[in-house]
A and B are shown apart, each in its own frame.
Chain A
């Protein structure tokens, strides 16, 4: 591809120092997000998917630290590394360029501030004209599928689904180019989940957003994501177009993950994945999935596999290919 991607994560590693141990949450990950892409990052708890997303906003805080790598963002003034921005520039970059719907949407609203105030402060600080703010607040709430009357409410007066929508409205407050939805629908029932996802996709169409979905539920993103990244133990183990990944999963982990989805068809048994993910505070010599892999062979224990293109932009990190 000739044009530079909107966001390019290069060889990023993030560690958490806890109780004298170092946990390698994200381990040399590369990722590209192009303008207009809908990208999903799928993985189980502790696979590092949220940590990876945090690096897009340079939000890693103690006890976490970014070990190495770059997060290059293509803005109006060319390509900049988000991790090496001056604090003032970082403040301007956050939310204006890349915004996020947080995992804990239930707790990510300030309990003692009206919804209106939480939209207002971010708009004002990112340079929205005072006289336009009220109209913009109404506009964003409507975009998120809310009635404008809720702006006078406090978060505790809203239902879970409404809070989630408020978070969407918040994420859109400054017209970002890229929106990260980190488990944005996890706490909601399936009906509301569907509504919210449809809403996000429609917004993507209307506002020409790029979207990143982070989820543990691969079935959720099956129909909405264009590109799916499967993460395991801090690494991306497989990346492919959604259709391709579902039809022809290459990595044994992806395969197992797909088999663990309940289907409506009769006679298909759900299979779990044996064992537990590896302890990330220990050095892993070979493939991190080797312990649990049904197709494991000698080489898997000896050397770590690299993520490589096996054709048609299908990437996999497995010694079988």
Chain B
């Protein structure tokens, strides 16, 4: 049950969270030591930098003046929904950069998240229902996999497929980029094949390291629910296994899983920071990584803004979903 009061209060909380998070988004890049203007001048023009040049560029990029002045102009541009041009990719605007990169992240993380959830829930349910040896095996296997850091696995894949397994000078699987150099993006066979081939290793990295978490969660909730008295009563009622599974076990077991699934979907926009970087996959994570290394304040701010909004909204959505799935949850 969800009351109107709850929704209103929740919106106020979200606004506060948003304000705090956005202030941090403004502050964090500026806290990092280093001067973006210097980097731009040095990397783009090289040579000796004159103090006047520095001043002009600083005011051009709205990073002159006190922190307060910058903060206010930051909010003004935020409310206009315009972050202006990126420092590094000047004159490309932040929004156009995000728009060109976000589909790659959606593709990569959307696919890997869906595969992880489906695989995790399937393996977890099987394991929980079966118990016995296969369960013990799957459990140790899953725990082992969750302990594998995804960046490490990404590097291992790089090592194996870029260095160790090279047959006649060609790689079995592409190790960098989102599609081949010689294909033209569009709806053509070559492009689609190239796209899929390029996604295999980053996808494998993400799926292998994230599905065991879902599997373990699902397995544990299934085991807990199977021990509940209402499941025993359902058996005593002479219900078919199908009904018991559907209405009594799964309906209850899905509750904790729903939360982590909801939050996993929120994570999609943020991209996979290191996996995208390791595989040079042109998604949001890759863009953010580059933005951070070159002090591209507006680009960092733009990306973080989206992550903040999606995370806040996803949390809200998960709570609403939970109240919908579990009648015992009262949001008031």
Number of inter-chain CB pairs below 8 Å: 78
Min CB–CB distance B332 → chain A (angstroms) = 14
Which stretch (B88-96, B201-209, B226-234, B267-275) binds chain A?
Answer: B226-234
CB-based contact A156/B239 at 8 Å: no
User: Whole-angstrom distance between the alpha carbons of A250 and B43 in the complex?
Assistant: 102
Contacts of B236 in A (CB 8 A): 57, 59, 94-95, 99-100, 102
Binds B, one of A10-18, A38-46, A108-116, A187-195: A108-116
Minimum distance in angstroms from B259 CB to a CB of chain A: 15
> Once the chains bind, are A111 and B230 in contact (CB under 8 Å)?
yes
Distance of B270 from chain A, by nearest CB (Å) = 32
Q: Which residues of A contact B234 (CB under 8 A)?
A: 110
Query: In the complex the two chains form, is B327's CB within 8 Å of A154's CB?
Result: yes
Are the CB atoms of B247 and A107 closer together than 8 Å? no
Contact status B235-A156, CB under 8 Å: no
- Please, how many residues of chain B have a CB less than 8 angstroms from a CB on the other chain? 22
Q: Mark A120-159, 1 if CB is under 8 A from B, else 0.
A: 0110011000000000000000000000000000101000
User: Does B100 interact with chain A (Cβ within 8 Å)?
Assistant: no
Contact A125 B230 (CB under 8 A): no
Within 8 Å of chain B (Cβ to Cβ): is A235?
A: no
A94 to B252, CA, bound (A): 23
Contact A111 B247 (CB under 8 A): no
Q: Which A residues lie within 8 Å of B238 (CB)?
A: 90-96, 122, 125-126
A108 with B232: in contact, given A156-B327, A156-B328 (CB under 8 Å)?
A: yes
Q: For chain B, residues 310 to 332, give those with C-beta under 8 angstroms from any C-beta of chain A.
A: 325-328
B229, A122: Cβ atoms closer than 8 Å: no
Nearest chain A residue, comparing its CB with the CB of B330: A156
A93 to chain B, nearest CB (A): 7
A69 contacts B by Cβ under 8 Å: no
Does any Cβ of B come within 8 Å of A104's Cβ? yes
B136 within 8 A of A: no
CB of B171 closer than 8 Å to a CB of A: no
Complex CA–CA separation, A78 to B98 (angstroms): 76
B50 within 8 A of A: no
B62: interface (CB < 8 Å):
no
Q: Is the CB of A121 within 8 A of B239?
A: yes
- Determine whether B52 belongs to the interface, using a CB cutoff of 8 Å to chain A: no
User: Is A277 interfacial (CB-CB < 8 Å)?
Assistant: no
Interface centre among A57, A96, A122 (most CB of B within 10 A): A122
- In the assembly, what is the distance between CA of A95 and CA of B244, in Å? 15
Q: Which of B239, B248, B251 has the most CB of A within 10 A?
A: B239
The verdict on A112 contacting B251 (CB below 8 Å), with A102-B232, A107-B230, A156-B328 known, is yes
Is the C-beta of A117 less than 8 angstroms from some C-beta in chain B? yes
Residues of A with C-beta under 8 A to B325: 112
0 or 1 for each of B230-272: is its CB under 8 Å from A? (1 = yes): 1011111111100100011001100100000000000000000
Residues of B within 8 A of A90 (CB): 238
Q: Which residues of A contact B239 (CB under 8 A)?
A: 91, 121-122, 125
Q: Closest CB-CB distance, B258 to chain A, in whole Å? A: 12
Q: A117-B247, A121-B243 are in contact. Are A110 and B237 (CB under 8 A)?
A: no
Whether B233 and A112, one on each chain, are in contact in the complex, defined by CB atoms closer than 8 angstroms, is no
A121-B243, A121-B247 are contacts. A107–B237 as well, Cβ < 8 Å? no
Give A92 to B239 CA distance when docked, in angstroms.
Answer: 9
Closest-by-CB residue of B relative to A105 is B229
Q: For B248, what are the chain A residues with a Cβ–Cβ distance below 8 Å? A: 110, 113
* A102 and B233 contact, CB distance less than 8 A: yes
Interface members, chain A 3-51 (any B CB < 8 Å): none
Contact between chains at B232 and A122 (CB < 8 Å): no
**Contact residue among A113, A154, A156 (Cβ-Cβ distance under 8 Å from B251):** A113
Q: Given A57-B236, A91-B240, are A113 and B247 neighbors across the interface (CB < 8 Å)?
A: yes
Closest to A59 in B: B236
Supposing A112-B325, A154-B328, A156-B327 touch, asked if A107 and B228 sit within 8 A by C-beta, the answer is yes
Question: Would you call A112 and B229 a contact (CB within 8 A)?
Answer: no
Is B233 a contact of A108 with CB atoms below 8 Å?
yes
Q: What's the nearest-Cβ distance from chain B to residue A239, in Å?
A: 26
Q: Which residue of B lies closest to A125 (CB)?
A: B239
CB distance from B234 to the nearest CB of A (A): 7
Report chain A residues within 8 Å CB of B232: 59, 61, 102, 108
Contacts of A126 in B (CB 8 A): 238
Chain A residues, Cβ within 8 Å of B243: 121, 125
Scoring A99, A112, A125 by chain B CB atoms within 10 A of each residue's CB, the highest score goes to A112
Minimum Cβ distance to chain B for residue A254 (Å): 30
- Residue among B235, B240, B252, B255 making CB contact with A110, cutoff 8 Å: B252
Q: How far is the CA of A28 from the CA of B251 in the complex (A)?
A: 40
Cα–Cα, bound, A95→B252 (Å): 23
CA distance A156 to B325 in the complex (A): 14
Q: Would you call A104 and B235 a contact (CB within 8 A)?
A: no
User: Does B327 lie within 8 Å of A111, measured CB to CB?
Assistant: yes
- The complex places the Cα of A154 from the Cα of B1 at a distance, in Å, of 12
Kindly list 10 other residue pairs between chains A and B, CB separation below 8 angstroms, not including A125-B239, A125-B240.
A93-B238, A94-B235, A96-B238, A104-B229, A108-B229, A110-B230, A110-B251, A111-B252, A121-B237, A122-B238
Residues on B lying within 8 angstroms of A by beta carbon are 228-230, 232-240, 243, 247-248, 251-252, 255, 325-328
Can you list 21 A-B contacts with CB-CB less than 8 angstroms, sorted by A residue number?
A: A59-B236, A92-B238, A94-B238, A95-B236, A96-B238, A100-B233, A102-B229, A102-B236, A107-B228, A107-B230, A109-B233, A110-B234, A110-B252, A111-B327, A111-B328, A112-B325, A121-B247, A122-B237, A122-B239, A125-B243, A156-B327
Q: Which 4 A-B pairs have the closest CB atoms?
A: A94-B238, A107-B229, A154-B327, A108-B233
